[in-house]
Structure formats: structure tokens, C-alpha cells
Chains A and B, each alone.
Chain A
Amino acid sequence: MPITDDQIFSIRDIIDSQLETREKRRIGRVSDIEAIWQEDGTLVLSSLVIGPQALAGRIASPLRSIVRFVLRDRFDHGIPLDDVEDFGPTLRLRGSAADYPVGQSDAWIANHILRWIPGSGH
């Protein structure tokens, strides 16, 4: 089947795009992408990366290592490309927020911080 224009994406269409889960929760934006060389010599996009280290690397490459030294990979997470159900202005994921570490951030803040403030709806 021939590929149509709608099916061709540039890196610019993916990076910084909104990530939305199955239940339409906004969990973050794509900070960076990871690609792997296949044995046949082709470069294949493998996963989307979300986190402060990836973002720091986009400001200036040396910053990535500095932030990595401080945060030690704790807050950067990858989402396999196969999990993206729908490409477009918003990348729709197959899973729910609880299925992704980055999607659990809101729940962690709600459960550990906001719950102590009256009226938080916890």
C-alpha cells in the first residue's frame, strides 16, 4: 500500500508534541526521541523520551550530563513507539496514565502533597 502524505512525519512533528492517554489525560510532552540502527543499516525510531535530562540536553549538550549526574536517570522515562495509537497534533497513547511512570507524577503529587491541603478533592 503506498504511503500518503498524512502518514509521513518529520521529527519536528513528534518532538514537543502533547502526549495524551487513553482516558484523555495530558501527561507531558515529548522531550526527545530514541532511535536504533537495525542490522540492515536502517535507522528506526524506537521510543519517545520524557524527562528533565532529555530537556536539558536540548538546551545544551553538556547540560544533559550535568543534570544526569544530579538526577541519576530517576525522572526520565521512555515510552515505546508501539504504544502510540494515533499520531497527529496530539500523540494518543494506548495505555492509561497509571501505565506510564510519567503519567503517575500527578497521582504521586496528589497522594503525597496535595492531599494534606483541605479542598484538594483527594
Chain B
Amino acid sequence: MKKWLSITLGIVTATGGFLDAGTIATSGESGARFGLGLIWACLIATVAIILLVEMMGRFSAISKKTYAEAIRENFGFKFYLLPLLSEVIAESILLAAEIGGIAIALSLMTGISWRILFPPAAFLVFAMAWRAPFDWIENAPALLGLVTLSFIVGIIALGGPSHQLLSTLWKPEVKQGELADYLYLVAATLGATISPYLLYFYSSGAREEHWTSSSLLLNRVTAIVGMSFGSLGSIALIFLGAMVLQPLNMQGSSLGELGLSMAKALGPFGALLFAVALFATCLGAALEVVLGVSYNIAQGFGWEWGEDKKPVEAARFNLVLIIFLLVAVAIGLMGIDPLQLALAGSTVIALFLPISLFPFLVLMNDPQYLRDKTNGRFSNIAIICILLIAFVVAFVSIPLEILSGGG
């Protein structure tokens, strides 16, 4: 009974925790600008994250090591610096976007400028990361994040997509001069969904919760069912953007603007649901990002770590957490719109994906860590292909986007 309860909780938290500022920004803007023409990117990113989350849980449950520990021990310090630096650069931008997302959600609820609400939002993230126990951080925002499923209700309330719109699923309308923006959004969609921070967090979570080989069923069900349900929220947002914002010629270029689609569908209550969903998903993701990076550094350098410990018992881990949060706050206070930050952060993540995750594939094929539970050929090939697509698209789109002056 207890096993099924934890499986249900795992699915619910994965579903509610799937979205974040990056996925909301990319989905909303994709729908507003290219109809349903980027759902394919969302689907292949979902396949990748299902495979990677399952692998990460299996790795930590069998090897009793986290990913960061294994990279340092297996590949040495010099190599470890590559995924570490790429992670720190990309995630600091993304963390600023997540905190901005919380501030915008609070702004939608209160009418106060999000810039004023940015410092309190950062403080809320700090307070929870500082003292909340691990299961709180993992479950509370994710449970509230189930509100994202109301996006599907919004689509139904709007009467569903038209036949003309549905045709953009397989025939994306990319007008002349928009190719750079289209590719940039493909890269951002892949980077937003295949987030290494989620994997560092998940791998550390498996150790915090003392997973063993008997946790593999829980791990597999959480990865497949939870992530699939979670991606529904992302796909629903693309639909909403395409159905509401595109006909109004709105670009979906701010998080607040994306809320209009829910307001059109369900009235003021819809706008409130969007604000709650934005708040919960960005809070959950901000905590996962800040902890993911702190776990990575503490484990890589061999320091005491653990969210269930008092801060003084894992002092260097908590000091990293504070410094990283301060860096993100400094980036956020530059005043760049969180949606643009989220897009930029997600695209940089896509660019770094091979550096972040190829070492993981090597580890997943090492019987020293996985015994008889190493990867099958399908998983290896699928992940290599998706990571290469993400890298190539990001590599091509970033210079194009800069040259064209940004979306």
C-alpha cells in the first residue's frame, strides 16, 4: 500500500513539477508565433527527459552515487569542471528567470510591479531552500503546480483548436525572416525541458530518500507517467498561445501576456489560475535549480551536503546556495524581462547539453556502477540523437538570433 502511495505521489509531483519559467516561456511564445509548429520539439524533448530521468534514478539507486560524485571520481577534476561551469553559467540565468516568474505571478495577483516583488520572491526561495525539509521542497510546489492541468480546461472552454490551426502541427508556418526565431525557439524548447538541473536534483533526491534497487519500479513509473502528464501542461500552453494570442497578433513576449490566454478562456478566474500555476511552477523550479547547483558543487568537491541537515551541519553546501542565489538576484536586478531570460537560459542549456550529459551516458554503460542494469541500445541512440539535435540547433540559432537583433 505504502509503495503505491509513494508511486502516486511521485507521479503527481513529476506532473506538477514539470513546467517552469523556461517551459512556460517557450511554450507560450511558440504558440503565439508559430501556432502548433513547435509541438514536435516539445514531444522529442519529453521523450528525452523521460529516458534521462529514468536513467538518473536507476543510476543513483543502483550505484548509490549521485551524478556529480560519479563524474568527479570517474573522469577526474579537470573534466568535471566542464559540466560544472556550463551548469553554473546557464542555471544562474535560469534561476533569475524563475525568481522573476514568481515575482510576475505575485504581480498578477496583487497588481504591484514585478520589479518591486523580485526581492521578496528571492527571499521566499531562500527561506524555503534554507530550512524546508527535502520532501516539502519536492512535494509542496509540485502539488500546487497541478493547477497547470487547468490549461487543458482552458482549451476546452475555448472550443478546441480549428482545423486550420491543427494543420500547423505538421506544416509549421515560418514566414520569411522568422527562421532564426523559429530555430531559437526549437533550441529553447529542448533546453527548457531537458534540464540538467532537474537531473542533478533528482539524482540527489534519490540519495536523500535512500533509494535502493527496490525503488526501480517507482522510478520508472514516475519518469514515464509523471513526465508525460507534465508535458501535457506544456503542450496545452502552446495550444492556448496559438488559439488566443496568435489571432490577436500578440508575440507572447512576456510572462504576463501569456496569462491573457487563460483570462480569455475562463475569465478573471482563468487569469488567477494562470498566476497560481506560474507561482507554483517557478517556485518549485527555483528551488530545484538552486539546490541542483549546490548539490553539484558540494558533491563534486566532496563536502557535506543534504537538505534535511541543519545549515551549519553542511556549511559549505549552504554557503554555495546563498552565493548562487545572490548571483541570480544580481542578474535579475538588471531588469531584463524574465521571459527573455528564461529563453536565453534555456537556449544556453541546449548548447551545453552534450557537455552536461554525454559523460552520463558513459556512466550509464559502465557495469562497475550499474551492474546488470546498464543502458540498452535504444536509450543510448535516442539520447545521443536528441542531444546532438539540441546542440546543432542551439549552435546555429544563437548567432542568428544575435545578428537579427533578438525575437
B302 touches A18 (CB 8 A): yes
Sample of 22 A–B contacts (CB below 8 Å): A16-B73, A18-B69, A18-B73, A26-B302, A26-B304, A27-B302, A27-B304, A28-B301, A28-B302, A28-B303, A55-B77, A106-B303, A106-B304, A106-B313, A106-B314, A106-B315, A106-B316, A107-B315, A109-B316, A115-B312, A120-B311, A121-B310
A58 touches B311 (CB 8 A): no
Judge if A25 is at the interface, Cβ distance under 8 Å.
yes
Which 4 pairs of residues, A with B, have the shortest CB-CB distance? Answer: A121-B310, A29-B302, A110-B312, A109-B315
Q: Which chain A residues have a beta carbon within 8 Å of chain B's beta carbons?
A: 15-19, 25-29, 31, 55, 58-59, 89, 105-107, 109-110, 113-115, 117, 119-122
Tell me the complex Cα distance, A82–B263, Å. 69
Tell me the complex Cα distance, A82–B310, Å. 32
Tell me the complex Cα distance, A55–B300, Å. 12
Judge if B130 is at the interface, Cβ distance under 8 Å.
yes
Cβ of B318: which chain A residues have Cβ within 8 Å of it? 114, 120
Residue among B131, B300, B315 with most chain A CB within 10 A? B315
B78 touches A58 (CB 8 A): yes
Q: Mark B266-308, 1 if CB is under 8 A from A, else 0.
A: 0000000000000000000000000000000000111111000
Cβ of B301: which chain A residues have Cβ within 8 Å of it? 28-29
Tell me the complex Cα distance, A106–B42, Å. 43
Cβ of B76: which chain A residues have Cβ within 8 Å of it? 15-16, 58
Tell me the complex Cα distance, A26–B302, Å. 6
- Contacts A55-B77, A58-B77, A106-B303 given; indicate if A119 touches B313 (C-beta within 8 A): no
Tell me the complex Cα distance, A113–B323, Å. 12
Cβ of A31: which chain B residues have Cβ within 8 Å of it? 77
- Contacts A16-B77, A18-B69, A109-B319 given; indicate if A117 touches B303 (C-beta within 8 A): no
Cβ of B77: which chain A residues have Cβ within 8 Å of it? 16, 31, 55, 58-59
Tell me the complex Cα distance, A58–B319, Å. 25
B318 CB to nearest A CB, Å: 6
Tell me the complex Cα distance, A115–B310, Å. 12
Judge if B388 is at the interface, Cβ distance under 8 Å.
no
Tell me the complex Cα distance, A25–B302, Å. 10
Cβ of A110: which chain B residues have Cβ within 8 Å of it? 311-312, 315
A114 touches B315 (CB 8 A): yes
B311 touches A59 (CB 8 A): no
- Contacts A106-B316, A114-B312, A114-B315 given; indicate if A25 touches B304 (C-beta within 8 A): yes
B314 touches A29 (CB 8 A): no
Tell me the complex Cα distance, A17–B318, Å. 22
A29 touches B72 (CB 8 A): yes
Q: Which residue of A lies closest to B304 (CB)?
A: A26
Tell me the complex Cα distance, A55–B81, Å. 11
Tell me the complex Cα distance, A109–B81, Å. 24
- Contacts A26-B302, A120-B310 given; indicate if A113 touches B130 (C-beta within 8 A): no
Tell me the complex Cα distance, A121–B77, Å. 32
Q: Which residue of B lies closest to A28 (CB)?
A: B302
Cβ of A120: which chain B residues have Cβ within 8 Å of it? 130, 310-312, 318
Cβ of A107: which chain B residues have Cβ within 8 Å of it? 315
Cβ of A89: which chain B residues have Cβ within 8 Å of it? 73
Tell me the complex Cα distance, A19–B72, Å. 13
Cβ of A25: which chain B residues have Cβ within 8 Å of it? 304
A108 CB to nearest B CB, Å: 8
